[in-house]
Every structure is written in C-alpha cells, then in structure tokens.
Amino acid sequence: MDFAGSCAIDADVATIWEAILNAEILRECIPGCQSMTGSPEDGFEAIVKQKIGPISMTFKGTIRVSDMVAHRSLTLSGEGSGGIAGFAKGDANVLIDAQGNLTTLQYRVHSEIGGKIAQLGNRMIEGFASRFANQFFSNFQNAVNSIVSPG
C-alpha cells in the first residue's frame, strides 16, 4: 500500500529535525505506542497496541532512521510482529521544506502487512494504514506546536 500526504508546522526546521529524531516525541506521536527506547543512530525499539477491525494486537518491533540529510529529509522504516495476528512493516520518506518559521513535511508511505490481519481485506487495511500515518503526522504537528509555544 502506498499513499502520501503533508502537514505544515509553524516551527523552524531545526526544531522539527530535533523532534523527529527524539524517542519520547516519537512515542507520543505513534498511535497506540506504549513504549519506545533507542536512538536514531542505533534504531528504536517500540511496543505498539492497535485494533484493526475486530482484531486487537500488540506489535513489538523496530524503527530505523536512514537516508538522513540534516534538516532536509530522512526515511523512517519500521517493522513489527503481532504474534499470531501477523506482521506489519513500512517506510515513510519525509521531505522537509522550510519557509522561514513555517515548515512543511511531505511524506510518502509504503506499508505491507501479512498474517491474520491481512485477511481483513485491502479496503479495511488501506484505510487503517492511511489513518495511522495521518494520525502520526497530526500528533507530530501537535507535539512540535507544544514545544514551540508551551502552555
């Protein structure tokens, strides 16, 4: 499954860059993320609980950061296993375009699923994957906004 989107954040590119590489901020932004440890250099380990249709699952997995061009672009790649429910993996290529204090993140996402959750059908899975990515970037926008103007 492939899809794309963008979000504009009223913050400078340095703030955006620092936030997108911060494990605590990523944990807050990933829907259903219960824990996240690690670093951009070594990768992150995460536990994410999700419900897709009638199936609830807990994924244990990794997130790697690659193709970093400081303050310009990066790729977030994740994969996790939900036990008998199946697996999920995907990449988000993120381009950062700064216009003063307004920074736009453009993202292209590719995701794959397998196992029991794949039996739910493409329509349900595609809808979930798109909502998941959009929720992540919306949460990220809110997290950065709270850093820039706390209160």
pLDDT of residue 100: 81
Q: Taking the CA atoms of 132, 74, 104 and 102 in sequence, report the sign of the dihedral they define.
A: positive
Q: What ranges make up the beta strands (E) of 40-142? A: 43-52, 55-69, 73-81, 87-99, 102-114
User: What are the tokens at 138?
Assistant: 């919306």
Domain total in the chain: 1
Torsion angle of C-alpha atoms 137, 139, 141, 144, degrees rounded to 10: -130
pLDDT in tens, 100-139: 889 999 999 998 888 877 777 777 778 888 888 889 999 9
Domain that holds residue 21: 2-148
* d(C-alpha 69, C-alpha 96), whole Å: 10
Total-model pTM: 0.86
Q: What percent of the chain has pLDDT over 90?
A: 62
CATH of the domain at 15: 3.30.530.20
The whole-number average pLDDT for the span 16-37 is 95
